[in-house]
Structure formats: C-alpha cells, structure tokens
Structure 1
Amino acid sequence: MKLSLKTMIAALLLLAAAAVAVTSLLPPPIEVETSTVIRGSLTVTVREDGRTRIREKYVVSAPVSGRLARIDLQEGDALTASESVLAVILPSEPELLDARAQAEAQARIDAAAAHVSRSEATVGQIQVQLDLAEAEFARAEELMQKNSISHADHDAARAAFHAAQQSLSAAGFDRRIAEFELEMNQAAARQFVDDPQASADPFTIHAPITGRVLRVFQKSSTVVSPATPLLEIGDPRNLEVEIDVLSTDAVRIQPGADVLIDHWGGAQPLHARVRVIEPAAFTQVSSLGVEEQRVNVIADFLDPQEQYTSLGDGYRVEGQITIERLDDVLLIPNSALFRHRHEWHVLTLRDGRAVLTPVTVGQQNESHAEITAGLQQGETVIVYPSDRIADGTRVQPVSVDQPDR
C-alpha cells in the first residue's frame, strides 16, 4: 500500500515531535572545568617544613675555676671580636692551684695548640680546593656562553664553587675559635705563679668573633669550674636552612639542587642551594602517629643578606627542593587524575560526553603530572570530576584550567 504525501509528512512531524519530547526529558549536560593536554617542561620538587640556623655557633666556657661575676649581656647583644667582654672570673685561692691543676692546664694548652695546627692545615687544603673549583666554574661559564656544556654540568660546577666558598668560611671560623681557645688556656696557665697577687687578678674573657649573644647559660654570680659553659655566641648574618625530608625523598636529592624558601614572613621568596644531605636518618612521629625515617638537608642562602635581615636562628620556613627537571613531556593537571580499580584514570571530553580513559603516570609535582601513555597532545581532560560524572555522561565545558608548572 502506497502512503500519500500527506501521510508521510504527518509521520515525519510526529517523529520530530517525539524526538523533541524525549530530548526535553533528558537531564541537561553537567557543566565541567577542562584542561588541554600539553607538551612542556616539568620541575619535580619536594616541599617540607624547615628552620633557619646559624651556620657556626660557639659555646664559651670558663677556662679557670673561680667566682664568676654577674654577666650583664643579654640574648641578642652585639659583640666585637677581641673587644667585647663576655665574662670576668675571679680565680680560686692560690693554694687550690696545685701541681695537678697546672698539669691539667698544660694538657689543655697542648690540645688547643694541636687544634690550631689542624685547623690551619684544613684552611690550606680547602683554599686549594676553592681555587680549583673557581677555575672549573670559570671554564663552565665560558662553555655555557658557547652552548658547549649542559645546564646540569654548569650547575654542578657552580655548586662545587659555592660549596668550597662555604667550606673555607667554616674552616676559617674553626681556626679563629682554635686560636681563641689556645689564648684562653695559655692565659689560664699564667695564673699558676708564685705571686699570690697575680693569681688573684680577675680573668677577663673577650669575644673571639664578631657576632651576637645567642644564649646566656650562667647569668648570676656563682662559682664555676674549668669547662663550665657560660654563653653561646654566633653570627646571625651567616644563616643556613635545615629541612628534614623523608628518607625516600632524600635519596633523590643531590648537592647543588635549587631550593625555594617561602612562607618565612617576607614579601618575596628566597633562594638557596643544597650543600649537604646528612648521611644519618632519624625517626620522627608524624601528626598521624606514623613513625617516619627523615633526613636533614642543609642549604645555603643565595640572596644578599640584606633581603632577610629579619630572619634569626631557629625561625620556621618552608622549602621547595628541586629534584629533577623533565623537558618535552605530556602534562595534565593533578586535579584531572583519580583512581579507578586501583589504576590511574582521567575523563576526556569527546563529542560532548565524558570518556573514562586509563593513563600511565610518570613524575609529578604539586600541580602537574607527566603522562607516559593513554593521552595525546591537544586532547581535553576534565579537572575536578565529581561523582555525578561517569563514562558517557553528557557534559558542557565552562572554563579551562592551566595552572603554572
């Protein structure tokens, strides 16, 4: 039976009306934020809390026994080497300074003299290393200008030069302290004389370095014996950063790695460089009650000291340590990733619908992840997917998320 033209038109209109009715009953597409799969560089970092500390501290102890006069110095007071008076001790009565005490004093002199000799030899050795590191860094600078050296080799040469400079500074401090201890012990030995008046002269201790008072252990007048701690001194201008990281992260950190210091209270972040990763780990209980093995990473500031004059010893900071930099890799935001059946997945956007897509994840940092399989450059993924979205769900993109890498 042949259908008339009017019947066919009526049927088509009926089908169209039915389609419109069905479509109107479907739920509207879910609005989603999306991001484009890009190819770029990824800097892998570790972020942990840390604290500042004065690189070199020294505890000043009593070189002789006697009565300590009240120490008027306060924490934070400025000191000038060889000028500022740290403490005054009235030595014990001459009859208490017997032959045994004299022998002990001579032994301390011999030990201090040996310390001076060792520190001088160390300074000489480090000076040779510094000269070599400086020459290597100068060559690396020339090669870098000619693009004849990798960034990693250039950074390694720069780190070696910087580390040698810091080592020489530390060795110089150790030598000054050794010389101070030798002078103190020699002066103490001169108290053992036959002249009672000479033995009763007050013993004055001057500051061995220019810096500040960090702590006062004995403030009130009291009787002290040799080696009794009196004060702790140091130079707050010579700060370093101590950051404790998980031991699993510490094995990936190399000396010379860049460190970004933020949340320290200043307006701008500071820059530092890893000098040493301590060889021994320690156990620390996390806020969740889990025992963790952690390692201290020590870094030196690179910015001029004028930029962080308000920082002191033991101040809290946050450190972001660079572990690795990957170039020319596929990247997506971490917010697009989720676990499904124990594997990483994303939801891609195809023809207005969400498509469940398994992916293989490589390295990650705080914002982005490297994708080694499952996606192509230019594809669109859904970020912050809610539990309302499943494979095949109709979606409508409303914005594009592209945070910094």
Structure 2
Amino acid sequence: MRITRRGWGWGIGLGAVALGLLAWAFAPRPLPVEIATATTGRFEASIDEEARTRVRDRYVVSAPLSGRLARIALREGDAVAAGDVVATLTPALSPMLDARTEAELRARVEAADALVARAGERIDRARVSVAQARNTLRRDEALARDRFVSANQVENDRLALRAAERELEGAEQDQHVAGHEFEQARAALSAARNPEGGSDRAFALRAPVSGRVLRVAQASEGMVALGTPLLDIGDLADMEVVAELLTTDALKTPPGTPVRIERWGGEGTLAGRVRRIEPAAFTKISALGVEEQRVRVLIDLLDPPARRGALGDGYRVGVRAIVQARDGVLVVPVGAVFPHPGDTGDGPARMAVFALRDGRARLVPVDLGGRNGREAWIVKGLARGDRVIVYPGDDVVDGLRVRPRDAADR
C-alpha cells in the first residue's frame, strides 16, 4: 500500500503532538510558594517581658512601743487621710521603765530625727537637679529653634525635668513621713516615761500619708512587741511597673526608653517610660532550670490614674520596651529572611531572601537594619514592591520555577 506525501505529513504532525503532550505531562511543575510584598512602613524592635505593678512609696505603720493593740477596723482598700487614726495601742509597761526599753525608744527617736535631716538634704539636692534640668531644657529649646539640637534631645530634656520634679516630690513626701515618725517615736517615749493613768492610756497610731490600706498585718486585738508591722499604706495613683530583664536586655533599655504596657486587664495599652535600672543584678532560675542574670527595671506609668481603671499593687502585666523604631523603612516578613548559603561565618552574618522574578526564585543578598518577631527591616538588596518567598523550604533553590500558592494548593 502506497503512502502519499499528505499521509506522511499527518503522521509526522500527530507524532509531534504526541511528543509535545508527553513532554508537557512529565515536565516539572512550578513549585507553589507563599509570597509577600516588600512594603514601607514603621519598624519597631522591642524587648517583651512579664512584669508587675508596684506602689512607688509604700509606708509600713508599726508599733512604736510594746502593748495591747485594739482591733483594727480598717480593711484592705479603705481610704485614709494623712493624720487619721489607724490603730490604737495601750502601752504594757512596768511601773518603772527598764533601761533597755528606754534605750530602744531613745534610739528610735534619734533615728527618726536623723531621717528628717537626711530628707531635708535630699530635698536640697532634688531642687538643684530640678533647676539644672530646667536650665538645660530652656537652652536646648532655644538651640532647637535654630536646628542646632534635635527634637529628640529636647524630648529627653523634658523627661529629665519631669523625673527631677518627681524626685523632688518624693523627697518632700519622705520628709513629711520622717517628721511623722519622729513625732510618733517621741510620743511613744513620753508615754513610756509616764505610765500613770491606768487603762485609759491609749496611744493613737496615725497614717503618715494619704492613700489606701494595702495590707493589714495584724487585724485582731492582742499583744504586740515594739516594731511589729501593723498595716501598709500607699497611694494607688502613684504606681510604677517593675520588670526583671536579662542584664543583656537591660543595657538596651536606658532611662527614657518608651514602653507599652500590655495584657493589664483593660482595653488597649498603657504608655510607660523607663525611669531607672537598678545597679545590682541577681540570679534567677528560669522555668527550664537555667540560671539567668537579671536586673530590675523601673518603669513610670504615663497615663492618668483614671485611664488605668482598677489596676492595683502587685498586678501582673506585660511590658514591651521599644529599643529601635524607624518610620518609612522597607520591611518584609521575618520568615522571608535567612542566613546566606555562602556565609562562611568569619565576619558579620550575611542574610538573603528568595525574590520572585520572571517566575523563578532568585537568591538576593540583603542587609538588615533590624528584625523583630514579625518583620525584618531591609536596608539594601530589595526595593518597594518586590515579591519575596516566605518560609522557603529546602527544595527552593536559585533559579527554580515557582508560582504563588493559591487556595487549591492548601
């Protein structure tokens, strides 16, 4: 049977189609990958830690002499004003005051007098600090108008002035409390020296400051010894947050570092600022049994008391200390960044991403300005609008054909 030229043509055509179908069927498919776009925005790096609230100044009312304590009617949360009677004590003294008890009471009077003098010296130092901070702020504000000083420096000066004013307020409060303790100690010595009068020799203990009762240590009637703590008083409107940070993290949060207070039980976040880092660290065992060196960081609450609601003393909160913040920078998901495969480890760590270009994954070296738990700040290597592969697997290599993953791939 003779095959015509036209038949050969049809045969060759069908063969070519069949080969094309086989090549298409066995050709490697583009790998579906998760894609994200590089955008510009605000980047923040923070240190997150659990913390607790604390009344800044806590005052303990203790027994200035031995005696029988009448039942304390106050309860935790009750409001008291400075000078209010918070407890009543009947001295239990022998007709003749023994030398040891008199020496103890005289020592308390002298110690209270020394506290008054020291509080006065602290007030003088605080006033000098306020004057210096005010002069520095005035000078830098004038320089800032001529653009010789940055706005950030002026803000730091304002914070320094506010901290100095708070220190002065605390010193004045301490002087008031020291004077109250001096009067209490002197009255206790006078009551001990004059035991006549029988059962009506009641000695009134008064609140040193206005605030609320935080704790009643001895509520029931009974005999108490000299110096026994009876109740704690503090001002819930003047609170701070105490965070125990790793020493390496604490060095990144100097005084003035902005802090966000989260997970405090109310809506939104509260604003805070680091006031002080305690000079001495301590060892703490982590939940995994690892010894850690931590240090206490004291944080001021900037929101007014009305904004904090019923937040009280010793409450657990979360803190986020902002150690790095930049606006208008290029950011990508942190899962798109990984160590460069060609990094030898001899110098600074090199980082890279897989960018989606012309349907293929391209290995692109990048320079990082920082990264947090969600985003990475790209300084060099990418441009706004570039698409990158998020969490690339081991099968993603340079030049591999890829495509964005869709709903059908999940």
Give the TM-score normalised by the residue count of structure 1. Answer: 0.87
Structure 2 distance, partners of 1:93, 1:285, is 48
1:358 Cα deviation after fit = 4.6
Q: Tell me which residue corresponds to 2:202.
A: 202
Q: Which residue of 2 aligns with 1:54?
A: 55
Q: Deviations over 1:67-96 (max 9, x none)?
A: 11122221111111112x221111013425
The answer to which of 211-220 and 340-349 deviates more is: 340-349
- Where structure 2 has 5 or more consecutive residues not aligned to the other structure, the ranges are 344-349
Displacement after TM superposition at 1:385 (Å): 2.9
Q: Which amino acid aligns with 1:354?
A: A
Does the alignment pair 1:77 with 2:78?
yes
Q: Aligned partners of 2:253 and 2:197: how far apart in 1?
A: 61
Are residue 133 (structure 1) and residue 133 (structure 2) matched?
Answer: yes
CA RMSD after TM alignment: 2.9
Letter in 2 for 1:71: I
Aligned to 1:350: 357
Aligned residue for 1:237? 237
Contact 1:94 1:200 in 2 (8 A): no
Cross-structure match for 1:89: 89
Counterpart Cα distance in 2 of 1:218 and 1:50: 29
- The one-letter code of the counterpart of 2:264 is W
Structure 1 residue 311 displacement after superposition: 0.5
Q: 1:380 aligns with which of 375, 387, 397?
A: 387
Counterparts of 1:286 and 1:12 in 2: how far apart (Å)?
74
1:312 aligns with 2:326: no
1:120 alignment counterpart? 120
Offset at residue 140 of structure 1 (A): 4.1
C-alpha separation between the residues in 2 aligned to 1:201 and 1:50? 46
Q: Are 2:235 and 1:228 aligned? A: no
Aligned partners of 1:338 and 1:345 also within 8 Å: yes
For the residue of structure 2 that corresponds to 1:314, the secondary structure is: coil
CA contact (8 A) 2:266 2:309 kept: no
Separation in 2 of the partners of 1:5 and 1:296?
92
Structure 2: how far apart are the matches of 1:194 and 1:319?
A: 55
Deviation at 1:125, TM superposition (A): 1.9
Show the 5 A alignment for 1:334-373: 334-339=334-339, 344-371=351-378
User: In percent, how many aligned pairs have the same letter?
Assistant: 42
* Structure 1: stretches of 5+ with no match in the other structure: 400-405
Q: Do the aligned partners of 1:64 and 1:226 also contact (CA within 8 Å) in 2?
A: yes
Other-structure match for 1:104: 104
Give the paired residue count: 395
1:225 and 1:351, CA in 2 relative to 1: closer, same or farther beyond 3 A?
Answer: same
Distance 1:356 1:16, change over 3 A: farther
Cα distance change of structure 1 residues 327 and 10 upon mapping to structure 2, 3 Å threshold: farther
Cα gap change, 1:199/1:104 in structure 2, threshold over 3 Å: closer, same or farther? Answer: farther
Equivalent residues of 1:53, 1:240 under 8 A apart: yes
Q: For 2:194 and 2:232, how far apart are their aligned partners in 1?
A: 34
Specify the SS of the correspondent of 2:82. coil
CA distance, structure 1, for counterparts of residue 266 and residue 139 of structure 2:
36
SS in 1 for 2:226: coil
Aligned amino acid, residue 59 of structure 2: Y
Equivalent residue, structure 1, for 2:346:
none
SS of the residue 1:90 aligns to: strand
SS at match of 2:273: strand
